[in-house]
Chain A
Amino acid sequence: QVKLLQSGAALVKPGASVKMSCKASGYTFTDYWVSWVKQSHGKSLEWIGEIYPNSGATNFNEKFKGKATLTVDKSTSTAYMELSRLTSEDSAIYYCTPGVGWFAYWGQGTLVTVSS
């Protein structure tokens, strides 16, 4: 079955960067775009962007351009997202989810807390 295992929670200082991972199994990793979705505490969901593992092609929400960098390691079926120049506004749970248009499978989420 499809599984997405995300890296653990991170506590990071303002201005720093954080890189999180999403290890996929149970499907052909290179066949599906992998999206990343942000959920601030008690709030709705925001689509950050997506990466196509086979080519590395990406599409981004303009809001997150310059904030998020998406990469993959095809050899380990792992997708990564790095967030830079962190502020308190970046404190949130971040989910990875493969799919095209809608998302049937989700990782468990990575909680990022930005605090000095």
Chain B
Amino acid sequence: DIQMTQSPHSLSASLGETVSIECLASEGISNYLAWYQQKPGKSPQLLIYYASSLQDGVPSRFSGSGSGTQYSLKISNMQPEDEGVYYCQQGYKYPFTFGSGTKLEIK
């Protein structure tokens, strides 16, 4: 199985700050990488797919980048509603696998 290693495990950011979350795949995944946000008691929400494509309705302060085995999610101008847990997921090879999650809080 492809292992997805996410970092950091948690972070806190001030309003307006820019934060980045990293995801490292154990093998190349050809940009078949998605990012999700999950809030307490809610289902995950797709933010980014194919490494850098913004899902409809997602604010443009979210962006994704990367290639090969290394990917990142950037959140610019941190807002209160951005608090939550973020997961990366590879859709390149079965079984699809998720990262362990990054908990993002407001400082």
Chain A residues with a Cβ under 8 A of chain B: 35, 44-47, 49, 59-63, 95, 100-104, 106-109
B55 to chain A: which residues have CB within 8 Å?
Answer: 104
Query: Would you call A45 and B43 a contact (CB within 8 A)?
Result: no
State whether the Cβ of B98 lies closer than 8 Å to any Cβ in chain A.
yes
User: How many of chain B's residues touch chain A, expressed as a range?
Assistant: 20 to 34
Interface of B is mostly: loop
In the bound complex, do residue A102 and residue B46 qualify as a contact, i.e. CB atoms below 8 Å apart? yes
Q: Which residues of A contact B65 (CB under 8 A)?
A: none
**Do A45 and B89 contact each other (CB < 8 Å), given the known contacts A59-B94, A101-B96, A103-B34?**
yes
CB neighbours of B80 from chain A (8 A): none
- Within the assembled complex, what's the spacing in Å between the Cα atoms of A107 and B44? 9
Interface pair A61/B91, CB less than 8 Å apart: no
Interface residues of B (CB under 8 A from A): 32, 34, 36, 43-46, 49-50, 55, 87, 89, 91-92, 94-101
CB pair A101–B32 under 8 Å, yes or no, is: yes
A35 with B96, Cβ < 8 A, contacts A44-B87, A102-B49, A103-B34 known: yes
Q: Which residues of B contact A109 (CB under 8 A)?
A: 43
A35, A44, A59, A95: the one contacting B43 at CB < 8 Å is A95
Closest beta carbon of chain A to B79's beta carbon, Å:
22
Of the residues A46, A49, A60, A106, contact of B44 by C-beta under 8 Å: A106
Given the complex of chains A and B, what is the CA–CA distance between A60 and B44 in angstroms? 21
**Which chain A residues border B50 with CB–CB below 8 Å?**
102
Q: What's the Cα separation between A59 and B87 when bound, in Å?
A: 22
Q: Which residue of B lies closest to A45 (CB)?
A: B98
